[in-house]
Amino acid sequence: MKTYKEMTNEILLRAKNIKRKRIRERIITWSLCAALLLSLNLFLFIPIKDIATDIKQYRGTEYYNLISKLNPVTNTVKADFGNNFQRIAHYLSNVFKSKSAEVDYEPKNENTEITNNQADNVTEGVLIKRDGNYIYYLKINFEGIQLDIYTLDGSSSSLVTEYTVVSDYCYEYDMTKFPVAEMYLYANKIVIAKNITVSEESKTSVIILDVSNPQEIKEENRFYISGFYVSSRIVDGKLITISDYMLNNNIDYDDKSKYIPTITVNGVSRDLSMSEIKTPDAAKTGNYIVIDYFDIISGKNLSDMAFLSYTGDIYVSAENIYLTYSYNAYYKNKNNVDIIDKTDVSCVNFGSEALKLINTVTIDGVVNDQYSMDEYEGIFRLVTTCRKRSRKIIFGFEKSTLTETECNIYAFDINDLSESGKLLNFAPEYETVKSVRFDKNKVYIVSYIQTDPVFVFDLSDYSDIKKIGELSEIPGYSTNLITYIGGTLLGIGYGAGNNLNIAIYNISENEKLEIIDNYTENCEFPHKFKAYMIDKINNYIGMCVYSNGEYNYLLLRYENKKLVLKAEINLSAFRSILMENGRAVYVNGYIYIFTNNAVTVLDGNYNIAAKM
């Protein structure tokens, strides 16, 4: 028989063994849990990698550097989510998501020159031109593009020629942003730049016509540039075209035509060389801005240049082309990502017969349009809106918050784009720039969020840019600003309730900035500046509008400090999508109104004198 002591020791040993077993079981359980948590963490949070095409076989070729920059943006299978946790959270958010409201911040009887060019000695493309005897209208229809030529004989005006330029009509692009076609009249030649589609690829086509005899129009030349037509200019007999060449995904790098811009002149095509292609350190998008420089008289192609990952508004002065590319810059800040609007601006000189890149600078913000940029007395000036946002990802859900909006003015020396001065954050909080007009040493700016402040700044000293005028608390905003007559500024845009509002501002020296008069109408209206008749000699303002189910031509005249409605001509057959293409001009006491399907002539009393 065991003693008490032996029995006690046996019980203690048994208890010790049970404790050890439980500890081992807990360790195993904890280890399994840790392993499961680690596996789950790896499954949920290990980054999902993008899959890129192998390009090592192109190493050593002329375009290898370009291919290596294109590959991440065109030939890489991008992961939809950064990791599996985001994928699952996105799925669950779609399952349980409920609808919520979203807030978006975001007459002297003198004939007039038809083209309102932005820069001196730089001619912009239009749809209507005239010489001493004829008026030329580039008519755009669903059926194609046609050049119509008319005599200038008032009520006896007649059609001289209908010349079919091309029978295919390119409709893919926003006509308020990118024109389908534009033309120039230069040295008895009509130069037409337009979009075409060849084998599902967009190209810019330039056609040069001899119109010295309008009854016998002859085609002299035709050439093609990769990319859809964006804009063009004529400076001193040289044509500058800008096109946007967008690449497809999954490029076959063995076929250079799939990723290298080409120029075709007189039936001969050539690829741009690497020396003509400018690439950033890292490509952001798979597209180019392509510049072509062409002598109209000799028919010689002078120079070409392409910029990878560029797209945006352009400005052209008498010697320089300014290209812009806007994007978001991301900065990690603890658990947040700060997002700031940025724009790269490149200056290309064409003073000689070759295009030359001067420099590229990066600024905060984005420009609103070409009128937000200007060159004057050796200084390039521009106005931007910079939005700053903070992005958080909480349990896989992304939340972006607008933290700040700045309106800025920048000035750069055109010789090297070194900064000459700037003024930052000049507008009220969350205001954005809606329209800009430079006038020598002044700039007029409209910003907007709920009211329409008009600012005037003195740019005579770029190191000390000063606000010299402000007009606040105006409902709506102007989308276009134009320096007008007699010390006035013309604003066209939205009034209260998104109605058309046309306003005349007093901007005379030493006088208070104020509204002289305004005209409002409940209608839809075009937004392209070139769609407006702005006659600074005979004081006319006109445009096509849509109201109450009908299209009309609205004609105003500025008389005795009043905007007076002179005519509202019905254009019942006018097609809505072509509202941006209506044009009008005053010649020898008559007003000629052109649309895609009719010409209306008004006499001095604004009665219809002829219809063609």
Domains of the chain, residue spans: 1-35, 122-311, 474-612
Q: Which of 103-112, 458-467, 586-595, 601-610 has the lowest mean pLDDT?
A: 103-112
Per-residue pLDDT at 64: 86
Signed CA dihedral, 257, 258, 261, 265: sign only: positive
pLDDT band at 481 (very low <50, low <70, confident <90, very high): very high
CA–CA distances in Å: residue 497 to residues 203, 476, 493, 517: 40, 8, 12, 19
Per-residue pLDDT at 450: 61
DSSP letter string over 107-133? -------S---SSTT-EEPBSEEE-SS
Q: Which residues contact 237 (CB under 8 A, 6 or more apart)?
A: 186, 187, 295, 296, 297
Q: Which of 159-168, 460-469, 588-597 has the lowest mean pLDDT?
A: 159-168
Mean pLDDT of 1-30: 72
Beta bridge partners of 368: none
For residues 486 and 471, is the Cβ–Cβ distance under 8 A?
no
- The predicted model scores a pTM of 0.85
Which carries the bigger pLDDT value, residue 485 or residue 19?
Answer: 485
For the cut 60, the answer to whether the pLDDT of residue 114 exceeds it is yes
Reported as a single tens digit per residue, the pLDDT across 86-100 is 656 555 555 544 333
pLDDT band at 311 (very low <50, low <70, confident <90, very high): confident
**Cβ neighbours, 10 Å, residue 564:** 13
pLDDT band at 105 (very low <50, low <70, confident <90, very high): very low
